[in-house]
Structure 1
Amino acid sequence: MRVLCFLLLGFLYEKVSGDRSFTIDDANNCFRKDGDCFHYISGSIHYFRIPACYWKDRLLKMYMTGLNAVQVYVPWNFHEPQPGMYIFDGDRDLEHFLDLTKELGLLVIIRPGPYICSEWDMGGLPAWLLNKQDISLRSSDPDYLNAVDSWLSVLLPRLRTRLYNNGGNIISVQVENEYGSFLACDYSYMRHLYHIFRLYLGDDVILFTTDGNTDYELKCGTLEGMHATVDFGPADNAKKAFDLLRRYQPTGPLVNSEYYTGWLDYWGESHSTVSAELVSQGLQTMLEMGANVNMYMFEGGTNFGYWNGADYKKTYKPITTSYDYDAPLTEAGDPTDKLLALRSVISKFLPVPQGPMPPPTPKYNYGYVTLQKVGDLQDFLDILCQGGPVVTRYPVTFEDVKQYFGFMLYRTRIPWEIPDMAILSDPFNGVHDRAYVSVDGNFAGVIERDHVRSTNVTGSSGDWLDVLVENMGRINFGAFFNDLKGLVANLTLGGDLLTDWLVYPLNIDGLIAEGWPHAPGNHIVMTTQTESHEGPVIYSGTFRITAKGDTFLKLIKWTKGQVWINGFNIGRYWPDRGPQVTLYVPGNILSTAEINNITVLELENAPDRLLVLLLDRPILNGTNKGV
């Protein structure tokens, strides 16, 4: 009987006549679409983790799997990188993405935040909020609410015409995200958001909340006037989770807003996987209960550039560049056995479109590329920091100088002779997040947040002590959102406090986007086998291709750093720690007509043979050790 209900009522097609409406029927515990009982089977996709040229391909594969809806986050920091600077074009063209969903007949469940988690830097909140000292994020703090109100006044009007009741395909809108997991439990804040959403979106749209399946999370995350939903994975007891939800949402449709098809990866841990059998069995169980389900993720995508977030579980845990998530569609958008298993389950409840599944995008093994040493990072401070350094008695943070991502170099003089060794120490755990230490251009070691608190240095009085600090991603979940970057506390040398710093905010991305170091006139020094490859060093190389497609970059025996191809920041690599060994290179950034450029910032130690390899497959569970 349940299967028949889905078959009869699950069609996406609009009625030929009559008013469009999407509402909640509390008496019958279902949604009503144009008056008929309706259930959705949805999948999460993040447009901000996928090049825009691939959006349609991914959405079509979701449609052909049998989904009738997609769930979409909107990251505030992606669209407002500086206060009042709004970007909605290119890979940030949210409205074009939504146009594609409608074109393919997919409904949309949208999650505009302002906080989204999503394992994204700072959970989608812009780091410039931290310019207000002592700001209380995700609360009724006036400084925070003023910024939120300003952002929502730009975003929400863009969504209003796209609501289902207004002729669009957005059927529901989430307010905040998993607020019950945040210790503030500020109902005034949630009520404020509720009124703002109603102001801009009207009274007819369904507003909802999503929380974990515990009493505390549902107590602090739900609010009268918004439909409560829950999230849990295939290892959880669905009946128990929904029974708990019924204490807070006694009537209306049951919804699992995040049914986990896989999980995220952290640097230094194994690649997360969940079996196709377990995920598909869990989906069938919930659909047989009459629940609405969104699968998180259906495609994960990639944390290009510096967009990955981090967790804090006793120690700081940065998230990998790949957000593959062991999802039904891979990081590169390819169908998996898990997708086929889910499609088989969905076909029991909804009519699945006929026809072949779109094939994987072409993958190419372009082979080896030889790189050359451009120079030590310190050699280019004049062009990487054209405004000159900040002169300060004590260290300042990234946020203090309004550089929110990437790298900053802190420089001071060694105050006395160190004939043997002295300990450079981080006594207050003030390195956020990883520091690369050099003395007079010679690499001395690494200090890492929560893990490595000191390194030994030697040098002469007056030598430059350089501390290059890498922002490895802001915390995206939990209570520690005010995650400042850089040297957030003082360092000591031999027990004495270091002072009188020159601080260089480095515009590496801007320079490389302009063509450096490959542009004519840039001098690239050829390396030799005996030349040192230790410490922060920039390397470059070129290659040609005759056919364009996706590929995966493997840095054989390289340690840790950042890679740009044709000026596009494809992300962080850290094969020395793993589990991710290769970086996804989308074919759209490559060229068959011109020479392709690779620029690498290796932070610790490059191999003697400066080779990288472009493969036709990813390696997401391994390390470079022993290669």
Structure 2
Amino acid sequence: MAKKEALTTTRMLLVLTFLISLFSLSMCGNTSFSIDYNGNTFVLDGKPFRAISGSLHYSRVHPYYWHDRLLKMVAGGLNTVQTYVPWNIHEPKEGEYNFKGLADIELFLQTAQEVGIKVLLRSGPYICGEWEYGGLPAWLLSIDPNMIVRTMDPGYIAAVDKWFDVLMPLLKKYLHENGGPILMVQIENEYGSYFACDFDYLRFLYKKARGILGETAIIYTTDGDSRGDVKCGSIEACFVTIDFGPSNNPVANFAVQRQFQPQGPLMNSEFYTGWLDHWGNPHAHTNLDTVCKSLDKILALGANVNMYMYEGGTNFGYWNGANAPPYQPVPTSYDYDAPLNETGDITDKYIAIRQTISKYQKLPEIPIPPNTPKGKYGTTQMNFVSTIQDALDVVSPDKPVYSTYPLTMEQIRFYYGFILYRTKLPRDINQLTPLLTKGVRDRGYVMVDQVPQGIFIRDDVIQVNITGKQGQMLDILVENTGRIGFATLMNYNVKGLTENITLDGEILTGWNIYPISLENINSSIISTRQGSGPKLNNGLLTPSIYMGKVPIPTSDPEPKDTFLDMRPWVKGQAFVNGFNVGRYWPKMGPQVTLYVPKPALVSPSLPNYLVMFELENTSCPPSQPCNVIFTDKPFINAIPAGSSFSVREIKEGYNWNLRV
């Protein structure tokens, strides 16, 4: 059976299972979930309940693997999973809703119901999570680039109101009291860490959620374990929870919760099992013993706990976020040094946490599911297809947007990935002449008639010196490397060129602006494309498209998870059979390999296509093809060291210049 048909059948079976469970519950009596404030405990169907939970974001794990991951959580001693709802993946364009694929929240909830794990649902509208724009849709910036999000800003509130009218009725069906797996619904996230402290906004969210979810649904907030955070992030109507990482004294941490909520269950909604990564920084690592000792102390207090993350997963596509200041984008891997690694495999931390939990409750009598098999498929040749300019008819098939001055992505209602700005040189530039801008978000590749001149870099490189002749094409390809998703700087989060470009002090005008949709590339287009080849200058190649085939042996009955070893490529985006695997930047590190989940591949009897959009260079001569390796092991811990970094496990045959 084809993979798509299998997933459709699976969904139908899950829906049937869910409906049967609803009928069974209705026959057995009422279900309920409540808080016994005097007893300092949750109550599930009349019995005391303690949530031992882990975070898994459905949007960061392929739906094919949701059942596997949730079952591993149950086998690890967890009774609850916590997940975010990223508004932007569900409403990528205003009024256009998406509940398929990575956004199929109903399938995720049905899968949780089938596995037998409860759900803590974090509804947003803001989620943070190192996700693009903290989960907010970028089209908000098309309404008003100066919108102050997460406040009673009229434009923001109107958009949230419409979104909650879509989301909350969906969630209501899956509340525990209605036979579903959702125990509680969180509004906002760590609001006390935001500057606004807008209680009218929190009350609006609460009233909206309460009006749709009903009077008995538990609505909660989460904030850091400081008095100031909880003061600005909570309201009396909501159940208050806090978050903190490994601690020698959780009693002191929970004392903050008690200041605002004298009675009721103690709850740490984000107990950090690891930490996030940024490009150019070392891969995060949290000591296993430290995590388990602190978890032991939390459980000994009788507290509820959610481990963030239990599996981190992957920022597929363009969904990684960023932090600032300074501006730091998050890699494609969201491994988080979690108990289940990026690919859902068991780690030593998983086993140790499981043993810690076993001291406080009996583990389920089910085997731990095995790790998914991995494919070591070897080397494939990547053939040049086209420069980005020669493929504009494919990647930007509509007419370009014309403007006297540069427009941002949001002004032309294009939000993710890449955008190309084009004008003509107004005169001969025989000597190196400064091209200047302070407004590039986030990297701008400057070319004259496709010849690379240099790179604008946000908050760093604002000048590129160029030469050229009057009438030659000046192109600036801008990459949006992820919107800031935390604190005050997430406002004015626009992308592209945000200020004018000057040439030796003269403002350049007359721009054609091309939104770049790499998803339009397919094998039939590639096979007929005959580009002129990239130009090499200043150590840079013209941003170009390359294609190869995944060398899966035809004798294999089915494909396996695999990893793209991106050495010796520099920076870009990778697609497998049209699935946007994510960004690569191996020389910056710490991530070197890209995870390719099995369901992104098709039967080995059919061709599996890898398409790469390389922005900067390869270590291969322009006239020769470059290779990429499909391996069975992840490598996400290259070690940056100042302006250079060393790499563990460099394979023989690679010739790396590691200075960046």
Return the TM-score normalized by structure 2: 0.89
Counterpart-to-counterpart distance in 2, 1:131 and 1:281: 48
- Quote the Cα distance in structure 2 between the aligned partners of 1:175 and 1:619: 36
Contact 1:27 1:251 in 2 (8 A): yes
Matches within 5 A, 1:112-511: 112-133=123-144, 134-235=146-247, 237-313=249-325, 315-426=326-437, 429-481=438-490, 482-509=492-519, 511=520
Letter aligned with residue 502 of structure 2: T
Residue 355 of structure 1: how far off its partner (Å): 3.6
Give the drift of 1:35.
Answer: 2.2
Contact between 2:523 and 2:609, CA under 8 Å: does it hold in 1? Answer: no
- Does structure 2 conserve the Cα–Cα contact (< 8 Å) formed by 1:555 and 1:611? no
Give the structure 1 partner of residue 628 of structure 2: 612
The match for 1:5 is: none
Q: Any idea what SS the aligned residue of 2:292 has? A: helix
| Structure-2 separation of matches of 1:362 and 1:167 | 35
Deviation string 1:562-620 (CA, Å, 9 cap, x unpaired) is 11111111000001111100000111111212111111111011221511011100110
Distance, in Å, in 1 between the alignment partners of 2:80 and 2:120 is: 7
Displacement of 1:517 in angstroms is 3.9
8 Å contact 1:517–1:524 — kept in the other structure? no
Residue 15 of structure 1 deviates from its aligned partner by: 12
> For residues 440 and 82 of structure 1, what CA distance do their matches in structure 2 show?
34
**Alignment check: 8 A CA contact 1:515 1:567 kept:** no
The answer to whether the 8 A contact 1:565-1:597 is kept is yes
Q: In the TM superposition, what whole-angstrom CA distance separates every residue of 1:280-316 from its partner, at most 9, and x where no partner exists?
A: 1111110001110000000011001100000112x21
Where does residue 7 of structure 1 map in the other structure? none
> Runs of 5+ in structure 1 lacking a partner?
1-12
One-letter code aligned to 2:578: G
String of CA shifts for 1:352-387, please: whole Å, max 9, x gaps: 112431111011110011111112111122332222
Across the aligned residues of Structure 1 and Structure 2, the Cα RMSD in angstroms comes to: 2.0
Tell whether the 8 Å contact from 1:395 to 1:488 is kept in structure 2 after alignment. yes
Instruction: Please give the alpha-carbon distance, in whole angstroms, between the structure 1 residues aligned to 2:350 and 2:632.
Output: 21
User: CA separation in 1, counterparts of 2:447 and 2:29?
Assistant: 72
CA distance in 2, matches of 1:172, 1:536: 47
Matched position secondary structure for 1:341? helix
SS at the partner of 1:480?
helix
Partner Cα separation in structure 2 for residue 524 and residue 101 of structure 1: 49
State the alpha-carbon separation in 2 of the partners of residues 382 and 618 from structure 1: 36
2:51 matched to 1:63?
Answer: no
Structure 1 Cα separation of the partners of residues 570 and 534 of structure 2? 18
Cα offset for 1:19? 3.2
AA of the residue aligned to 2:276 = L
Q: Percent identity over the alignment?
A: 48
Alignment partners' CA distance in 1, 2:49 and 2:569: 53
Whether contact under 8 Å (1:372, 1:524) holds in the other structure is no
Q: Does the Cα contact within 8 Å between 1:382 and 1:388 map onto a contact in 2?
A: no
Q: What is the DSSP-based 3-state SS (H/G/I as helix, E as strand, rest coil) of the residue aligned with 1:361?
A: coil
* Selected match of 1:45 from 52, 56, 60: 56
How far off is 1:43 after superposition?
0.3
Alignment partner, residue 637 of structure 2: 621
* Cα-to-partner distance string for 1:216-275 (whole Å, 9 max, x where unaligned): 211110001101110111146422211122111111001000001111110011000102
Q: Which residue of 1 is the match for residue 548 of structure 2?
A: 541
Q: CA deviation at 1:521?
A: 3.3
Distance across 2 between alignment mates of 1:349 and 1:17: 29
Secondary structure of residue in 2 paired with 1:123: helix
Aligned length: 608
Q: Which whole-Å deviations, capped at 9, do the CAs of 1:110-164 have from their partners, x for residues lacking one?
A: 0011111111111111111111223221111221111111111111111112111
Judging changes above 3 Å, is the alpha-carbon distance between structure 1 residues 543 and 25 closer, same or farther for their aligned structure 2 residues? closer
| Structure 2: distance between partners of 1:311 and 1:24 | 36
- What SS does the corresponding residue of 1:77 show, helix, strand or coil? helix
Whichever residue aligns with residue 80 of structure 1, its letter is E
Task: Answer whether contact 1:185 1:220 (CA < 8 A) is retained.
Answer: yes
1:525, distance to aligned residue in structure 2 (A): 7.3
2:551 partner amino acid: R
- Cα distance between partner residues in 2 of 1:316 and 1:52: 31
Structure 1 residues 251, 369: closer, same or farther in 2, change over 3 A? same
Deviation (angstroms), 1:533? 7.0
Q: Alpha-carbon deviations, 1:390-424, whole Å to 9, x = none?
A: 11111000011111011111111222222220111
Separation (CA, whole Å) in 1 of partners of 2:613 and 2:516:
13
User: Deviation at 1:515?
Assistant: 3.8
Q: How far 1:524 sits from its partner (Å)?
A: 6.7
Contact kept? 1:418, 1:458, Cα under 8 Å: yes
- Secondary structure at 1:450 match in 2: coil
1:563 equivalent to 2:570? Answer no
Structure 2 regions of 5+ residues with no counterpart?
1-23, 639-644, 648-655
* 8 Å contact kept, 1:372–1:525: no
Compute the TM-score of the two structures, normalised by the length of structure 1: 0.94
| 3-state SS of 1:283 partner | helix
Q: Is the 8 A contact 1:49 1:304 kept in 2?
A: yes
